[in-house]
Amino acid sequence: MDKRDVEYQIADLKADYVRLQQDLEKLEYVKGNLHPLEKQLAEIEQALKKLYQQLDRF
């Protein structure tokens, strides 16, 4: 994987993160089950952390 691939994955995960945050806000408004979305957000945060570390190595 090269630097461009890592940057593309970071951008893709950021877009997913923003979408999930919006979904989470909607669920909070209607008192829905937040746990699955919170778990997905945490997983994306971990993946982003690893990708940023990998990007720093380039």
pLDDT digits (tens, 9 = 90+) for 9-35: 999 999 999 999 999 999 888 888 889
User: Whole-angstrom Cα distance, residue 5 to residue 27?
Assistant: 33
Q: How many CA atoms lie within 13 A of 46 on its CB side?
A: 6
| pLDDT tier at 47, thresholds 50, 70, 90 | very high
Q: What is the pLDDT of residue 52?
A: 96
Whole-model pTM? 0.86
> Which distant-in-sequence residues (6+ apart) come within 8 Å of 13 by Cβ?
44, 47, 48, 51
Q: What is the pLDDT of residue 44?
A: 97
Q: What is the pLDDT of residue 31?
A: 85
4 with 54: CB under 8 angstroms? no
45 with 13: CB under 8 angstroms? no
